[in-house]
A and B are shown apart, each in its own frame.
Chain A
């Protein structure tokens, strides 16, 4: 989706189990939901 919008050099950073220990944990685990960082660049 990021590339489709026109961004380039998309790079994923770290994945984080950010809902671990929260009341939302079971929903998050059901769909393997993680926090993630990424960067990308606008061409030019």
Chain B
């Protein structure tokens, strides 16, 4: 039996369409948890959730809490890969403070629009968002102290390319703090080619 190869561009389009839905109609309900209940399930402190504008909270769609791995240093330059509506990027901005800088990168324009508005609403002038993909980040070499990401790399078909790219943008000694999905049993090739299984 010939197993169809994964159409990576169709996958990118499907992911973008799914997260455009999350950005434009977060109340709709998805195959994965979202919003405040998800943030509470992942043990984000209530005070952190309360500090983030509602638009960014409602569109949160992570799979873990990358801050549970340790606080971000004050003054650090932080990259959030697949920043969505900016829920984690806002926490990062508060942790690094005014002398730091946080750059969120996302490929979905509707999410970027929400994230920019929420950052402006929160007065986080040292937080910015750029359009881009994890495999080709719009950042220069060795420009970042910490890379965070939450539930994004699993959606990228070429994960090795993503990690090479993260290595490129990190400064020597810089670190990753990632939350992602891990599949612990082998996935058949037929299932890998099913885009619906990737996007949930």
Contacts and interface: CB of A to CB of B under 8 A. Distances in A.
Nearest to A44: B172
Interface in A1-44: 1-2, 4-7, 11, 13-16, 18-19, 21-24, 27, 30-44
Contacts of A19: 32-33
Dominant secondary structure of chain B at its interface with chain A: mixed
A9 B148 CA distance: 16
Nearest to B177: A39
Contacts, number: 114
A6 to B, nearest CB: 5
Interface residues on B, range: 35 or more
B42 A40 contact: no
Interface string B94-105: 000000000000
Given A7-B163, A37-B178, A42-B167, 17 more contacts: A6-B167, A13-B69, A16-B63, A18-B41, A18-B63, A18-B64, A21-B33, A31-B187, A32-B185, A33-B184, A34-B181, A35-B42, A35-B179, A38-B176, A39-B177, A40-B178, A41-B176
